[in-house]
Amino acid sequence: MKFFKVRVIVMPREGLLDPQGKTVEQSLKKLGFKGLSDVRMGKVISLKMAAENRSKVEDAVKDMCRKLLANPVTEDYFIEID
Amino acid sequence: MKGRKRITFGVVIFPGTNCDRDTYHAVEALGYRARYLWHVARGIPQDVQCVILPGGFSYGDYLRAGAIAKFARIMDAVTEFADRGGLVLGICNGFQILVESGLLPGALLQNVNLRFICEHVYILPQRFDTPFTCAIPEGRPLRIPIAHIQGRYTYGSQKEKTCALFCYCDRNGNITGDANPNGSEDNIAGIVAPGRLNVAGMMPHPERAAEIVLGSNDGAWIFRSVERWLS
């Protein structure tokens, strides 16, 4: 058994209005930051998991995302495993 | 307008639900029977004819509103009840639980103005062939309060699976952008799924507008509709 550090990044799906991201973008522009666009806000869920290998972790975390961590109707997820 | 038929409504309580007693009270004040259903229950009692998932903050709204409640044990029983044709109405947080659990299509996102909105709004029923709207006079906007921060309805990729049941409108019944409090697509305030009219969800709180002393009793029409449907 090995311990793996996992980060799940959940983002609002492209094309869906993200009012939080928009508000942050406006604030950044007011602060004088130039050239920025498409600010979007999601969430990060970190966890540790014991498993035999990386692919078992990946399978389990994908299952977690489908069942609970991400809303399949409005969100996309990305998984990072260390 | 006291209840003529003794219908029994079941009011589900999850940890964090807070509109259970209002809903129970409204049901009784309208002359029907009510009973509470606890979130760990394995079944829906035989005498319950309509299950209401009331408003609140089930499981603290952690992760996403309704995301944890969909795994509560009673949701298996609610799903089975709905599959048998039983009437299920989700109000506010209850609506969020129904979309999270897949019993209704789409999703409810954070209001476009990022604020918790608590105010009376007008909603216009879009169809009258459902158990929740069949007694409402056509063309009449209902004045019912909303109280939510995550109520912006989006179809996601499920537009063809969605039927608008209520739309936000102005006091004259016009469905306009100005009358849309939270940025919902097509001003949607409540939905049913086509081919499955026994399950509905709505963000406005009919139980908070079921007696004239509360400023409006338009919400009573939803309960009266259930009575008519079951008669």
Sequence spans of domains, chain B: 8-230
- For B38-53, write each residue's pLDDT tens digit: 999 999 999 999 999 9
The total number of structural domains that make up chain A: 1
Residue span of the structural domain in which A69 resides = 2-81
Task: State chain B's mean pLDDT as an integer.
Answer: 96
Residue in chain B lying closest to A16 (CA): B156
pLDDT exceeds cutoff 50 at B3? no
Mean pLDDT (whole number) for B178-199: 96
* Fold annotation for B8-230: Rossmann fold (3.40.50)
- For B14-23, write each residue's pLDDT tens digit: 999 999 999 9
Quick one: pLDDT at residue B54? Answer: 98
Bridge partner list, B152: B109
Q: Could you tell me which of B204, B178, B180 has the C-alpha nearest to residue B191?
A: B204
Q: How far apart are CA B229 and CA B29, in angstroms?
A: 19
Interface test with B, best of A14, A73, A76, A77 (most B CBs within 10 A): A73
Q: Could you tell me which of B27, B5, B24, B11 has the C-alpha nearest to residue B220?
A: B27
Q: How far apart are CA B111 and CA B152, in angstroms?
A: 5
Q: How far apart are CA A29 and CA B17, in angstroms?
A: 40
Give the confidence band of B4 by pLDDT, cuts at 50, 70, 90.
Answer: low
Is B190 or B5 the better-scoring residue by pLDDT? Answer: B190
Q: Which residues of A touch B68 (CB under 8 A)?
A: 68
Give the confidence band of B6 by pLDDT, cuts at 50, 70, 90.
Answer: confident
B110·A69 Cβ contact <8 A: no
Give Cα B146 distance to the centre of its chain: 11
ipTM reported for the complex, 2 dp: 0.90
Indicate the residue of A23, A69, A71 with minimum beta-carbon distance to B107: A71
Gap between the terminal Cα atoms of chain B: 15
Residues B125, B129, B132, B133: is their CA dihedral positive or negative?
positive
Residue B117, C-beta contacts closer than 8 angstroms, at least 6 positions apart: B111, B146, B147, B148, B149, B151, B181, B182
- Chain A nearest-CA distance from B65, in A, is 11
Interface test with A, best of B63, B111, B161 (most A CBs within 10 A): B63
What are the distances in angstroms from CA B15 to CA A1, B83, B99, B142, B167? Answer: 36, 25, 19, 30, 30
Backbone angles phi, psi at A2, to 5 degrees: -120, 155
Indicate the residue of B63, B106, B111 with minimum beta-carbon distance to A73: B106
Backbone angles phi, psi at B74, to 5 degrees: -65, -20
Q: Which residues of B touch A12 (CB under 8 A)?
A: 109
Q: Where residue A56 sits, what CATH number does that domain have?
A: 3.30.1280.10
**Splitting chain A (82 residues) into consecutive groups of 10 residues, what average pLDDT does each group show?**
96 93 96 96 97 97 97 96 94
Judge contact between B137 and B218, C-beta under 8 A. no
Mean pLDDT (whole number) for B188-197: 94
pLDDT exceeds cutoff 60 at B138? yes
